[in-house]
Structure 1
Amino acid sequence: MSRTYLRAAGLTAVGLLSAGLTQGGVARSLFESTAVPQERFAVLAQPIGRSQWKLLVLEQIKAQPSCWTSRPDGLVEPSLNRFDFSGICKRYLDSNGYSLRSGGQDLGTRFRFRIKQSGRLLKLEALDPQQRAPLLVGQAAVAKRDANGFIPLQLEPGWELERRVYQERKLNHLYFAHQEPVNRLLAKASSHSQGYGFRPWGAPKPPVAPPPLPSANATRTSSSRPSTKRIASRGPIRLQVIPYGR
């Protein structure tokens, strides 16, 4: 019985490891990516309400008319709403339009993007809820807040936009891509965030060791002998005699 339990635990560990590797392998093989001309894209922070920001990516498909205009104050004003931009401009608004890719692995289901303002600085971060430190993807200084002016975000070194490819077909989905594996990026992000550690992405949990089982001889001996308690005494025990009545 002990050997059977341990064998099952070992198979469980192998299964967990295989599941983790298979999940990464499927994500890697299902979608590929290809480079895109970076100058044809604008990564923007759109002001929402009084303090929130939303990530917006614009693509210039044809040369004219221009899909966005740079203003003298450093902000960017989208101009695609002034004309029929079908076939000229492309908007990527949310997780349906962009996701994270690291080390050749599609991480769209694990990470989400957010734009966080700290003082006069905007940070584009990729966040995994299980990690303490987010990945810094891009940033920009906040010159002013204007409802009609978007802030252009500069991607950090190593990060570039790529296009998702499925069976050699280019899709309308962009990656914020980095060549390094995600665990290495998370380790670097943690080292810059007050020394917080990180959980390696995709690592399976080790199986819990089973409790020790009694041997067959001990089990057989304990079951054949009744449970008794010895009473310590220093002399003969006086028994009560009940007279027999007729």
Structure 2
Amino acid sequence: MQRTYLALAGLALAGAGLPMVQPRLAMAAGLFQSTEVDPERFAVLARPVGDNDWTLLVLEQLAARPSCWQARPDGLVDPTLNRFDFTGICNRYLDSNGYSLRVADQELGTTYRLQVQQVGSRLELQAVSPRNSAVLVVGRAEVPLRDRDGFVALKLEPGWELTRRTYEQRALTHLYFSSPAPLEQLIARAGGGPTYRGPTAPVRAELQGLAADPMLEQGGDGLGSGRSGRAIALQVIPFSEADTGGL
């Protein structure tokens, strides 16, 4: 996936009122906030990849009809948005450009990544970091069966929820898996390990059309693009993640 890295320093955004600051200072000052979302409008899914792997996908229902996903009798989820032009109807969040971890109002996208791992007959949505041996379990699901066309619905663990990134009360096209608990407490619950001391790598953000384009857009991965006037496109690149590809 081709990615463009733009430094925040010196970036002028007409009408956005964004201060010209270095990324680390911007994060320290709380550049982004978050807001609650309606969980009924979202599906957190594990998509089968190959013979044994899984990847995380989040779908959002923007309009009432048609449905972007549908439960199957066998316990799997059918991603029905593949059968129609879902522009303005559905949105999908495929990788770390679309979602990241937020703990106690602190963004951890540069140090933690989200992954889906199978443990026996169960799937775990995990947040992992190269700086800490503790694995934070964000969600779980039982696997009824494996079908390349059927996704598994993940249920978030108590204390975790989806929220949306905002900038000056404007919704952005980025979701958080959020917990209000301090990171040290989550690490202790997960079995300890070195205590996280905060990010040292700069946050690399791409602020494209923040003031000029109110349309929601994500793409470049073979899944098509969804648009909506409800959010503003903004991509944040974490430290590392492989391209997940299309559905």
Q: Which residue of 2 aligns with 1:50?
A: 51
* Deviation string, structure 1 residues 56-96 (Cα, Å, up to 9, x no partner): 00000111000001000110010001111000000000000
* 2:193 alignment partner AA: G
The alignment of Structure 1 onto Structure 2 pairs a total of residues equal to 178
Q: Would the alpha carbon gap of residues 145 and 70 (structure 1) be closer, same or farther in structure 2, given more than 3 Å must change?
A: same
Question: 1:166 offset after TM fit, Å?
Answer: 1.0
**Which structure has the larger Rg over C-alpha atoms?**
1
Q: Would the alpha carbon gap of residues 38 and 203 (structure 1) be closer, same or farther in structure 2, given more than 3 Å must change?
A: closer
Question: 1:176 offset after TM fit, Å?
Answer: 0.2
Is the CA contact 1:28–1:106 (under 8 Å) kept in the aligned structure 2? no
Is the CA contact 1:183–1:201 (under 8 Å) kept in the aligned structure 2? no
Is the CA contact 1:27–1:106 (under 8 Å) kept in the aligned structure 2? no
Question: 1:131 offset after TM fit, Å?
Answer: 0.7
> Aligned equivalents of 1:25 and 1:188: distance in 2?
30
Q: Which residue of 2 aligns with 1:70?
A: 71
Question: 1:133 offset after TM fit, Å?
Answer: 1.2
Q: Secondary structure at the match of 2:70?
A: strand
Q: Which residue of 2 aligns with 1:171?
A: 172
Q: Which residue of 1 aligns with 2:128?
A: 127
Q: Which residue of 2 aligns with 1:200?
A: 196
Q: Which residue of 2 aligns with 1:207?
A: none
Is the CA contact 1:31–1:164 (under 8 Å) kept in the aligned structure 2? yes
* 1:73 alignment partner AA: D
Greater relative contact order (Cα < 8 A, sep 6+): 2
Q: Which residue of 2 aligns with 1:217?
A: none
* 1:69 alignment partner AA: Q
Q: Would the alpha carbon gap of residues 199 and 76 (structure 1) be closer, same or farther in structure 2, given more than 3 Å must change?
A: same
Question: 1:187 offset after TM fit, Å?
Answer: 1.5
More helix by share: 1
Q: Would the alpha carbon gap of residues 179 and 48 (structure 1) be closer, same or farther in structure 2, given more than 3 Å must change?
A: same
Point out where structure 2 has 5 or more consecutive residues left out of the alignment: 1-22, 201-247
Q: Does 1:82 pair with 2:57?
A: no
Q: Would the alpha carbon gap of residues 136 and 167 (structure 1) be closer, same or farther in structure 2, given more than 3 Å must change?
A: same
TM-score w.r.t. the length of structure 2 is 0.69
> Aligned equivalents of 1:182 and 1:36: distance in 2?
22
- What RMSD over aligned residues (CA atoms) do the two structures have, in Å? 1.8
> Aligned equivalents of 2:28 and 2:67: distance in 1?
36
Question: 1:168 offset after TM fit, Å?
Answer: 1.6
* Deviation string, structure 1 residues 121-176 (Cα, Å, up to 9, x no partner): 10000001111111100010111000000000000001000000012210010000
Question: 1:203 offset after TM fit, Å?
Answer: 9.4
Q: Which residue of 2 aligns with 1:6?
A: none
Is the CA contact 2:41–2:61 (under 8 Å) kept in the aligned structure 1? yes
Q: Secondary structure at the match of 1:62?
A: coil
Q: Which residue of 2 aligns with 1:162?
A: 163
Question: 1:202 offset after TM fit, Å?
Answer: 2.6
Point out where structure 1 has 5 or more consecutive residues left out of the alignment: 1-21, 191-195, 205-246
* 1:84 alignment partner AA: D
Question: 1:104 offset after TM fit, Å?
Answer: 0.6
Q: Would the alpha carbon gap of residues 128 and 168 (structure 1) be closer, same or farther in structure 2, given more than 3 Å must change?
A: same
> Aligned equivalents of 1:27 and 1:127: distance in 2?
22
